[in-house]
Amino acid sequence: MPQQSVIFFDIDGTLLNQEKKLPHSAKKAIYKIKEQGHIAAIATGRAPFMFEDLRKELGIDTFVSYNGQYVILNGEVIFKNPLNLQSLEQLTAHALDHQHPVVFMDHEDMKANVPEHAYIKESIEMLKIKQFPRYDPEYYKGRELFQMLLFCPEGEEKQYEQAFPDFDFIRWHPLSVDVLPKGGSKAAGIGKIVEKLGFPEERLYAFGDGLNDIKMLSAVKNSIAMGNAEEKVKAAAKFVTKSVDEKGIYYGLQMVGLL
């Protein structure tokens, strides 16, 4: 048996295609590396409740969620990095003044601070998930929140970047931005898992395609960008595989010698 490695997979645009479907080739490849004794893990910007079905389908119990803010190893929480509550309240007030809705997110659910909004509907529907944020403007009180969604057109997040230095803002949709604790990233979350496992960098792998994968692909020694990734994402990776719909996971694992 080869030495055990851990392979982190992004979800949207990496494991799942544009229709949010898992290609059979990707599922088969992941089961194959697990049979060989490797650890298949997920590294995503999604909340844990947004990919529970996928984890069950692939038999995965190790993951980095919320772009590194909530980390699970073998089914156990090993790291949490919640948003600063005072800054969160200030940002929410600022967003309301500018007619930009927000969604509060913890590890179990998400709630909107407005009853309904076209930006929220369009963005969340694109994810093709079961959950939709219901209205609860006080959901943040007494909770640890690991991410907020700020809904605004492209470019309008600049005012928030300047006004709220406690946070990082990462756009994932033309109408929506992830709001994270400053310095939080998938790379940092992966680091928490690697600390526990004690694996050398030569046995770490990561697949991704999005802007929120750049730090991860830059930090992980054996990094693979999907063929459907933007050029700046590909530039951050050591390897580039085919697109998600062209058996990109399968070919990428072959490329690095894991299949």
> 210: domain CATH number?
3.40.50.1000
**Number of structural domains found in the chain:** 2
Query: Which spans in the chain are helix H?
Result: 24-35, 52-58, 85-97, 118-127, 158-163, 186-197, 214-219, 231-236, 248-255
pLDDT attached to residue 211: 87
Cβ burial 59-84 (10 Å sphere, 16+ → b, else e) = ebbbbbbbbbbbbbbeeeeebebbbe
Residue 247: give the domain boundaries: 6-80+184-255
Residue written as tokens 């529970």?
52
Instruction: Tell me, yes or no, whether 46 lies in a domain.
Output: yes
Whether residues 13 and 138 fall in one domain: no
The pTM (predicted TM-score) of the whole model is: 0.90
pLDDT attached to residue 62: 98
Whether residues 175 and 227 fall in one domain: no
Whether residues 136 and 218 fall in one domain: no
Whether residues 74 and 194 fall in one domain: yes
Mean pLDDT by 10 residues, the chain (259 residues): 88 95 97 97 95 96 96 97 95 96 96 94 88 93 94 94 93 92 93 95 96 94 97 97 98 97
Whether residues 104 and 168 fall in one domain: yes
pLDDT attached to residue 133: 93
**Among 119, 148, 181, where does a domain finish?**
181
**Among 181, 200, 226, where does a domain finish?**
181
Whether residues 215 and 247 fall in one domain: yes
pLDDT attached to residue 154: 93
Q: How far apart are CA 181 and CA 146, in angstroms?
A: 8
pLDDT attached to residue 247: 97
**Among 116, 146, 181, where does a domain finish?**
181
pLDDT attached to residue 2: 65
The CA distances from residue 54 to 5, 12, 22, 63, 121, in Å, are 21, 11, 9, 12, 23
Whether residues 100 and 44 fall in one domain: no
Active site residues: 10
Instruction: Tell me, yes or no, whether 57 lies in a domain.
Output: yes
Instruction: Tell me, yes or no, whether 106 lies in a domain.
Output: yes
> 174: domain CATH number?
3.30.1240.10
Instruction: Tell me, yes or no, whether 1 lies in a domain.
Output: no
